[in-house]
Amino acid sequence: MSAQVRQLEKELGHPLLDRSGRSVTLTEVGEAVLPYARAALAAVEAVRQTAEEFTGLLRGHVTLGLVSGAAAAAQEFDLATVLAGFHEDHPQVEIALTEDTSERMLAALHRGELDIAVIGLADEEPPPGISLQVLIDEPLVAAAAPDDPALTPADRTSIALAELRDRPLISLPRGTGLRGVLDRACAQVGFRPCIAFEAAAPLFLAQLAAGGLGVAVIPALPAGAAAAFGLRTLEITEPRLRGRVALAWRTDGPSSPAGAVRLNLMRTSPGPT
């Protein structure tokens, strides 16, 4: 390395390092040249990584976060198939998958601990420094046993959020996008929700509601699923609530080339229809 530096100094006609003291320091010319040297090294590394990507030799580590209880969303988006396809194309890339709340995963994205996350959205606008691609956007409903007083009369199809003021509610935990939507909407209407039970899996919330333990606030169920669970569902209105699941990443992009390739694959993969 010393010989290469001296050769570069000879070609430039200026010393880049001051070797007169106990420690080697940059000369004024060396300080001026340093940013260009770093840029050149970065460009060489980018060329190598790009070539490896195109020849299927991509190496690295990708950290992916999935919001707790998002198994149904993951199946609808077919996340497992996307991951399997990426692993087949890039077997030397290590993939780490973690499950957590949306709030904690957003913080991990900011810190660079996650490359990509599938999160539930509580707000209309993305947090600063975060880009989003919505994967699922569906209404939230109130689900309960058919004889629950909140659902009477039997021919009604919707329920105002204020009618759930004193009802025991069943919801996802704090820190999830759906719970954030519920808490914020209740505050706008003027009450604090009475959460009797909370769990990470929406289908388990539906089972609790079917057992007469309260009214579950969950994403709309597929046709026939409510009857299969022994539930009635009513659209929540005034205001209407929606549950949204999105792909999230830092606006400046994942820190690793492997993460960037993984993000592009997920963004272009077919979503729910």
Q: Where are the domains of the chain?
A: 2-54, 60-136+245-268, 139-243
Hey, how many other C-beta atoms are within 10 angstroms of the C-beta on 20? Answer: 7
Evaluate whether the domain defined by 60-136+245-268 bears CATH number 3.30.300.30. no
- Whole-number pLDDT of residue 17: 86
Under CATH, which number does the domain 139-243 receive? 3.40.190.10
- Whole-number pLDDT of residue 59: 65
Same fold, 60-136+245-268 and 139-243: yes
Residue showing tokens 């009797």: 196
Kindly report the pTM of this predicted structure. Answer: 0.67
Task: Output the tens digit of pLDDT for each of the chain's 273 residues.
Answer: 788 878 888 888 888 888 888 888 889 888 888 888 888 888 887 777 666 665 555 567 788 888 866 555 444 556 777 778 777 877 878 888 888 888 899 999 988 888 888 888 888 777 889 998 888 888 999 999 988 887 788 788 899 999 999 999 999 998 888 899 999 999 999 999 999 999 888 888 999 999 999 999 998 887 788 888 889 999 999 999 998 888 899 888 776 666 776 677 676 665 543
Closest C-alpha to 5, from 23, 20, 26, 22: 26
- Whole-number pLDDT of residue 268: 63
- Whole-number pLDDT of residue 55: 58
Closest C-alpha to 90, from 258, 260, 266: 258
Q: Hey, what are 251's tokens?
A: 């606006």
- Whole-number pLDDT of residue 271: 52
Evaluate whether the domain defined by 2-54 bears CATH number 1.40.20.10. no
- Whole-number pLDDT of residue 74: 46
Report which secondary-structure segment, H or E, holds 258.
helix 257-268
- Taking phi over 0 as left and psi of -120 to 50 as alpha, with beta for the rest, 171 belongs to beta
Spell out where the chain has E strands. 17-18, 25-26, 60-67, 93-100, 116-121, 130-144, 158-160, 168-171, 194-198, 215-219, 232-237, 242-250
